[in-house]
Chain A
Amino acid sequence: AQSVAQPEDQVNVAEGNPLTVKCTYSVSGNPYLFWYVQYPNRGLQFLLKYITGDNLVKGSYGFEAEFNKSQTSFHLKKPSALVSDSALYFCAVRPSSGGYQKVTFGTGTKLQVIP
């Protein structure tokens, strides 16, 4: 069975500092990996995905993520955090093969950017 772990319930970072939100996964075969952000009382917004190719993926709002197959990780990063980045972040994974495959979401990490 596939799984996603987001080991930190909350990450605090000062505005202007780099941020990292951690994600590790377990899946049979090669993964498709996704990051979503959710603001209060809103739906999830797609940030970026890893399908194949370059291990460094760039997404919306200046976010990027690095796929590391040996460490089965897909950490979300941003060079300089903004207060407006404060939100709930979800990592998600699905297998890349085998017809329909359910997307599994992590438990979420609350990012708090401190002015």
Chain B
Amino acid sequence: DTEVTQTPKHLVMGMTNKKSLKCEQHMGHRAMYWYKQKAKKPPELMFVYSYEKLSINESVPSRFSPECPNSSLLNLHLHALQPEDSALYLCASSQGGSYGRYGYTFGSGTRLTVV
């Protein structure tokens, strides 16, 4: 298995809703990442997990809450989002923890629309 699987592919949520994005990989990668990408822009790093521990939080608002239940799963819990949070949310993983020299494997993303 050489993929990062993200669910759901599309999500529409109201500003008072609570929802979660899920990311799964079975490649044995020990670093996992959440990125946010606006249209025609580069991905922006949100969080880094290395060996299931949160190692980087790029000053992301608390309405985004990451969770790494085990080495294969990464969740992003969403609460009280704003319309400007609408974007493509990408999960990625890499070998050997976040210190490695390896390229990232990205999932196809969750297209989030906040109404």
Contacts and interface: CB of A to CB of B under 8 A. Distances in A.
Interface of A: 32, 34, 36, 41-46, 49, 51, 88, 90, 96, 99-100, 102-103, 105-108, 110
B40 A88 contact: yes
Contacts of B104: 34, 36, 44, 46, 103
Most buried by B among A42, A51, A107: A42
Interface stretch (B13-21, B61-69, B73-81, B107-115): B107-115
A36 B45 CA distance: 15
B90 A107 contact: no
Given A100-B98, A102-B56, A46 B105 contact: yes
A109 B22 CA distance: 29
Nearest to B103: A46
A45 B111 CA distance: 17
A46 B105 CA distance: 7
